Each structure stands twice: as C-alpha cells, then as structure tokens.
Structure 1
Amino acid sequence: MPFSTPIWLAPQSSKRPATPIEVNEEVDLVIVGAGFQGLSAAFHAVALGLKVRVIEAAQVGSGASGLNGGQVIPGLKYDPEWLLAHFGPERGEALARFAASTADAVFDLIDHHQLDVPRKRNGWIQAAHTQTASEMQAERHRQWVERGADVALLDARQIAEMTGTSGYVGGWLDRRAGIINPLAFVLELARLASDAGARIAENERVSGLRHETGLWVVSTQSGKAVRAKSVLVATNAYSDGLVPGLRQSLVPLHSFQIATAPLTAAQDAAILPGGHAISDSRRILVYYRKTADGRLAMGGRGRLGLPRSADDWAHIERAMRRVFPALEDTPIERRWYGRVAMTMNHLPHIHEPEPGLLMAAGCQGRGVGLMTALGPYLAHYVTTGDPAALPFPITPIRPIPFHAFRQIGVSAAIAWYRLLDSLER
C-alpha cells in the first residue's frame, strides 16, 4: 500500500511551470511560495500590470495547497459580532464581508476561467457532538442569517440523514461552501497565472533577502538572484528562517488524512448521500468528504514529527470507524499528510517588517478559501501601498515565547483535548 500518497489527481490540462530564473532578472514583484496565496496574488498582480516572478522551493502542489482536504469553507473562527467588537465598526465590517466572500473567491475563479477542477458546491456541515456545541451553532446561525447568508440549523434527524451516522445531536449547514480537488486547483492556478504572464520557477529555494539600492535582491540556494521592487513571502506553514521571527510566530501542525477503497453502492448511498463536506465540533476535530471517484476521505491532526509508519494514521482510522461503523472492513488505500499554520489568536496575520517586504500567514485550517481570497487584496496593496486595501490590519511579527518548546506543549494540549473529547461521547 502506498505510504503518504494523496488521493488527488492532477488535471489532464496541467503543465509544469518552465520559466527558470534569468541572469540579471528584474521584476516588480517576487512571490516566494507557489501555493494558493502566492499563485492567486501572482495572477491578480499581473492583471494589475505588474511583472511577477514566483519562486517555489519544491514543485507546485507538493505543499499544503495540494495536500489538504479540499474543503472550501467561508468565514473565520470568529463570527461577525466578535469581529465588530474587536476591530471596531469599520474594520470589523470589512472583515465580516471578507470572511463571507472567501468561498466565492474560489468557485468564481474556477467558473469564470473554466479551470479544470473537479468540484461540488452544495455546502459544509459543522456537526455538533454535544448540546453545548449545538447551542453555539445556533448563535453563529443567528449572526449569519442577519447578514443574509444561505445557512441552516439541523436537528438530530436531519444531520443523521445528511451524514449517514447517528452520532451527532445537531449541526449547522453553510450552503456557501463546497469541495474541490485541491491539487487540481493549485495546478490550474499555476497555469492561469503563467498564461497571464507570471514567471514560475520550481525547485528553487530562496535563501536570502536583502535591500540594495532601492530594490530587494532575492537570492536562491542555486546561486541565482532576482531584483524586485516588492517581495511577498507566501510560505505560510513552510516558513523557515528567511524572514526573522516569522517561523517563530506560527504553530505548524500536521494534518493527517486517509482515503478508503471505493465505497460499495450501498455504502455510497448511505454515507454522505448529498456529498457534503463535514467537520465536527470536537476540540481535536475530524473532517471528511467523499471524493470524485467514490471514496471516503477523512482527516485530522496528527503527530508533530514526520510520520514513520502507517501506524501514525491509526487515530484517523479509529475515528472513521467510530463515525461510520459500516466501514469497519473497508480497506484504507491512501494515507498522506500536509502542514498547516496556526496563530495564537486564530486569525491570519499580515506583516510588513520593512517597506516592500510583505507576508500573510495563518490559515487556521481554512486555507483554500482564505488564501485564495487574500490574493487580490495583497496584489492591490503592492500596487497602492494603502493599508485600507487589506482586510486584516498590518501587525508586527511577534514570535511566540518559548517557541522552541512548542512541540512539547502542543503535543500535551492535543492529548488533553482528545481526552476531553472522549469523555463527551
């Protein structure tokens, strides 16, 4: 059985970017990282008339953008009234509108440009495993209904019918959401940006940034360099020491996923009959969906270190069989993982430690919509320099205290939360 092999297939139309860095290359904008954020920003920056170079350390799709669960979920961890209270009426309102738009950014881009991306937009369900979680969903529902969102509360009977399991007391359906093939989407974004004029180089790791005679010099480990007026570091959970303090300001977590063998006709009819995306309300949640070829794919948090064997996915397999006992004997045919970035306040962070050096990080598990939607805002900011053009305020980079010990602390927290979750069953 393949080890750490994702289920997602590349579209037939995809082509690898083939624009190596040139000698004495000079552009308006260098983007470090070719994930959803970097490629969305690149496409929109070219549309604004900028000359753009994207530099990817590995291959497009090899990071979190091509390895995630493909759930396109609008919103943030916080609901509109919290955003208004925390950021004030003007910024809070802008954030609430942005949060509502993130799924639209993905599906509108796919539809408008006819991207070859398998997709289904019929909603995401947040499944409540306790009455307390259900009451919190009722409050979230009230706030979004007041803003005209296409959402609904589900009772125990409705969610059992829509999921195919009886383990939930209720749920919340957000019909603005949906599912995609994430690998196809990031590869099609690369094709779209490349066709528009962005130059994308793969297998070039950026090793240095320095400001020299009014321009940024972006150097790579292979000895190449590009000069640019501005730089966007779009590395997110894969951030290293390129920007001082950035890596230490984030908590990188691994998201482990599995996919079953193709479901039988009876299983397919009973499990997620409407094809919705699901995540539950547990502290250490699981999320799941069906794939285009009729498998069940499920994911959740895994070990912080790199996986060593198939046993590192055992907790996801147990969760799958807890939720769907009928899959007890269904083989697991794929196991894979990717890295996601969390912030301490559970909000994306935008930084500009020096003029012309920009970065946005912190997906909080909603990176498909969030990072795609940020792209045009970041491109617009590069062209205007107006902070009001950004949905989130620009803040200083604040390294997490004792960041070197985060693995011990996060592992302990995950173990504790799993214990609490188990007691609430």
Structure 2
Amino acid sequence: MTHIRSIGSHPAAASLWAATASDAPPVAPLTQSAHADVVIVGAGFTGLSTALHLAEAGVNTCVLDAHAPAWGASGRNGGQVNPTLKYDPNELRRMFGAKADALIQTVSTSADLVFSLIDRHHIDCDAVRAGWIQASYHDKGVPALHRRAEQWQRLNIPVSCLDRDEILKRTGSNMFAGGWLDHRAGKLHPLSYARGLLRAALSNGAQVHGNSPVTQLQRQDGKWVATVAAGATVKADQVVLATNGYTDALWPGLARTVLSANSFIAATRPLGTAADHILAKGETLSTAERLMIYLSKDRDGRLLMGGRGQFRDPKDRSDFLHLERSLELLYPQLAPFEIEYRWSGRIAITRDFLPHIHQPEPGLTMALGYNGRGIAMSTSMGQQLAKLLCDRSGRDDFPFPITPIQPIPMHGLQRFYIAAGLAWYSLLDRLSKR
C-alpha cells in the first residue's frame, strides 16, 4: 500500500508521521473576536515554541494558523534535531565579530532545549539522542568535515572525527569515505513533538486556533489587528509572523525574501533485523555534498531517506525515484526496497543561509528561513523571540541579527532557481568525485 494518493492537496495525509503521531489536542477555528498581548501567525515549531515560552511567562498569547497546527513542514520533516547552521564558529566570528559568541551559544544549545522541553513536558515523540553524522562520499571531502569537527572541539563540544572504517561501522554502508559525528544531535517524531508543544502551550494558557487563515494585518488605535477569513479579529500589542516555507502575501515583500523549496521523503516498510547494522546506535545521517540527502530509522525499523526535490508538490511515485535509487546505492544488499510512505514539505531557504528576523514596524516581529535545520533552530528561535518580546529594555541581547526585509531579486523565477540549482550542484558533485 502506497501512501501518496492525496499528496497534492494535503501532503500531511500521506506521511509516515501523520499515520503514527500522537493524538492532536483539539483546537477550534477563531469564530469570535478576541484580545491578546501577542498574536502569532503560524502554528509550526516557531509559533508553538514562542507561544509556550510566552505563556509560561504569563503573557496572554493567541496563535492563528490557516490549517491544523504543524500542518506544514513542522509535521512533515525528517525528524533530525541538529544544533548547527551552515556556518561554523570561525565563519560566524568573521561575519559578526564579537556578537557571534551569543549566536554560537544559542545554536550550540538548541538541541539541549528541544530535549529538555520533551522531558519537562513529558512529550511522547520517540526522542533519541544518539548524534548526527555528516558524511562525504569521497576522500577529498573528508578533511573539510574534520575541520568542522575540530572547530567545535576547541569549544569543548562533544564531536568526533570519523574515518572510513568508523563511518562504515556506524552507517552500515561502504559508500562513505569519512565524516564527523555531532553527539549533541538526535531525532524525534516531528508531528508528535509539535503536538506536544501545542499541548504544553495550551496547558499554560495560550489560545490556539486552527483553520483560521489570517487575511489582513493592520494597525488600529495603537493596536495590531489580525483578521481571519471568517471575519473574526484578534487585537494585540505585538505580532509574530512565523510562517516560514508557507509565507504568503500577508506582509508586503516577506514571501520574496526566501526560496520555498520542497523536501521530499520516502520511508520503507519495517526492515526487521536485516537493517540492524544501519545506524545501529540510533544516529541520523546527512551527506556533505551540495545535493544533500539525509537518512534515519524510525522506531519500527523503517529507513527514511530525504532530499531536495522539484519546486512543485509531488504528483506520483516518479517524483521520489531519486531517493529510492540513493537507498539502493547505499544498501544494495537490501534492494529492492518496498516504499510504504512518500511525502513532502516546504522549507524556507535564505540567500545567506541564516535565519532571518525582521521588525519593520513597532510591535511586529517576523522570523523565518531555517534552511532545513528547523526543529532545533525554530524551537530555539521561539524561546529567543519570547525573551525579546518580554524585554522592554531593547534587543541588545538577542542573539540573531535583526535585518531589514530584502526581497530576493527576480524572486518570481524561484522555480527556475531551484531547478537550476539542483542540476548544477548535482553536476559539481559528480565532477568533484573524479
């Protein structure tokens, strides 16, 4: 049985996570106008984490989402909890000088925050903290990965360099030449985790409304007013826009600051003992090549393979063949694989591969652009946004740079950008292996 039949209209319905998640707390649409201190647009990881941390601080918070909470990529990603950015400490210091230290600390502890929230709120989401492997297929790429590890080691962060033998033992594949292991990282069931954050936010007094698309955002008499499609409104002192890869035209120019790219995932049927040697300790894996793929196992022994796909939403099995072929190349002894689930979700990619935070008007904050590192970074972002909104003294201690809204030039060609980028990076990877 293949779970792809409804992926065009509702990708979450086709996913492994939707089929195996914990029950969702009931949240009703907004039908009556309300007041709040803070209104949050978007009930993914960023919105739910912000709401939880605000509610714990006693702030009256209301979250509005066009669909069910975690309907977007928060409920459809690969489940990897990686406390990294594209850039390592040395690069961040060159970019931001002395201000980089707070950012490095926030990034480095982002996985700690995820797993502490899971423990504190008793979130049942199959959490395993056994580390993340970044691997290279060829010898030329290994020294760069070892240099990444060495930067973090100098900060007393628990990471390890892996040679060809060590990475074979951990991954069960002889396709890799080496890499590094970040022991801070882990994995979880992303939809169950999001629903756990939702449950915790609700229990602390936050209001959350699904199926309540915000159609207008405006200032009236010193307040922000968010109007949903049904006509009800929420008046608030502060607004947070947390829509990431599903950002629309609600605020002028914001959607054009990111490329909204699809991440495709395929999951096999449970493989039983035949796959015991693959990521045997519960690690996750991604490749360092430009055209990245990522891999993990779920609690039932399914292999999950993810990677970038076409800009459009997938239509049929053929859109996932590149993932299935990758699995067969990595583990030919187990081929052919029977794929049980196929699904996708949209991530937001920024030009500089950093999260973007904007405050274009007083009381209005926007956060988006996690570049495929959403679980750890957006959870941490929610905590930091809550601190920022509660701090009346200013934003000097906020670890992320706050920047103006700068749309990507010729953003209307993003379909072309993504298609051309996939082809170009695939070519570069092939050439670099010669």
The TM-score with structure 1 as length reference comes to: 0.97
Which residue of structure 2 lines up, in the alignment, with residue 358 of structure 1? 365
Measured after TM superposition, the shift of residue 217 of structure 1 is 0.6
Q: What is the RMSD of the two structures over their aligned residues, measured on CA atoms?
A: 1.3
Partner of 1:384: 391
Say which of 5, 10, 15 aligns to 2:25: 15
Please state if 1:316 is matched with 2:323.
yes
Q: Secondary structure at the match of 1:187?
A: helix
Alignment match of 1:257 (pick from 265, 269, 272)? 265
Query: Does the CA contact (< 8 Å) of 2:66 and 2:214 recur in 1?
Result: yes
- Deviations along 1:28-79, one digit per CA (max 9) or x if unpaired, are 0000000000000001111122111000100112110000000000121111
Residue 348 of structure 2 aligns to which amino acid in structure 1? A
Matches of 1:176 and 1:162 in 2, distance apart? 16
Task: Kindly state the Cα deviation for residue 11 of structure 1 after the two structures are TM-superposed.
Answer: 4.6
* Alignment check: 8 A CA contact 1:35 1:61 kept: yes
Q: Is the 8 A contact 2:324 2:337 kept in 1?
A: no
Tell me if the contact between 2:3 and 2:15 (Cα under 8 Å) persists in the aligned partners: no
Whole-angstrom distance in 2 between the partners of 1:48 and 1:151: 34
**1:241-280 matched pairs, under 5 angstroms:** 241-265=249-273, 267-280=274-287
Opposite residue 37 of structure 1, the aligned amino acid is T
Q: Give the conservation status (yes or no) of the 8 Å contact 1:387–1:393.
A: no
On the 8 A contact 1:257/1:335 being kept in 2, the answer is: yes
Worse-superposed segment, 408-417 or 369-378: 408-417
Q: Which amino acid aligns with 1:240?
A: D
Q: Which amino acid aligns with 1:16?
A: P
Worse overlay, 331-340 or 386-395: 386-395
Q: Does residue 230 in structure 1 map to residue 238 in structure 2? A: yes
Structural mapping, 1:162-181, within 5 Å: 162-181=170-189
Is the 1:17–1:194 contact (alpha carbons within 8 Å) kept by the matching residues of 2? no
Q: Map Cα deviations across residues 153-203 of structure 1 (whole Å, 9 max, x no partner).
A: 000000001000001110100000001000100011111101110000000
The aligned counterpart of 1:78 is: 87
> Which digits, 9 at most, give the CA deviation of each residue in 1:267-323, with x for residues without a partner?
222222222100011111100000011100000000101212111111111111111
Specify the alignment match of 1:292 in structure 2.
Answer: 299
**Which runs of structure 2 are paired with 1:4-403 in the superposition (5 Å)?**
4=7, 5-8=14-17, 9=19, 11-12=21-22, 14-18=24-28, 20-21=29-30, 23-89=32-98, 91-265=99-273, 267-385=274-392, 386-403=394-411
Q: How far apart are residue 405 of structure 1 and its match?
A: 1.1
- List gaps (5 residues or longer) in structure 2: 8-13
Q: What secondary structure does 2:408 align onto? A: coil
- CA deviations 1:96-131 (Å, max 9, x no partner) are 111101111100110122111111101000011223
Q: Mark the CA change 1:221 to 1:282 in structure 2 (over 3 Å): closer, same or farther.
A: same
Moved more, 97-106 or 128-137: 128-137
* CA-to-aligned-CA distance 1:316-367 (integer Å, 9 cap, x gap): 1111111111232220110000000010000001001111110111111110
Q: 1:415 aligns with which of 409, 412, 423?
A: 423
- Give yes or no for contact 2:249–2:255 (8 Å, CA) kept in 1: yes
Q: CA deviation at 1:13?
A: 5.3
Alpha carbons 1:64, 1:340 under 8 Å: kept: yes
CA positional deviation for 1:10: 5.0
- Alpha-carbon separation, structure 2, partners of 1:241 and 1:43: 26
Question: Matches of 2:425 and 2:23 in 1, distance apart?
Answer: 43
Contact 1:13/1:116 (8 A) holds in 2: no
Which sections of structure 1, spanning at least 5 residues, go unmatched? none
Q: Which amino acid aligns with 1:393?
A: P
* 1:358-398 CA distance string (max 9 Å, x none): 01111111100000011111011112242123211210000
User: Which ranges of 4 or more aligned residues in structure 1 deviate by more than 6 Å?
Assistant: none
How far the C-alpha of 1:423 sits from its partner, in A, is 3.7
Is the Cα contact below 8 Å between 2:134 and 2:286 reproduced in 1?
yes
Aligned counterparts of 1:376 and 1:60: Cα–Cα separation in 2: 18
Given that 2:83 and 2:110 are in contact with CA atoms closer than 8 Å, whether structure 1 keeps it comes out as yes
8 Å Cα contact 2:21/2:189 also seen in 1: no
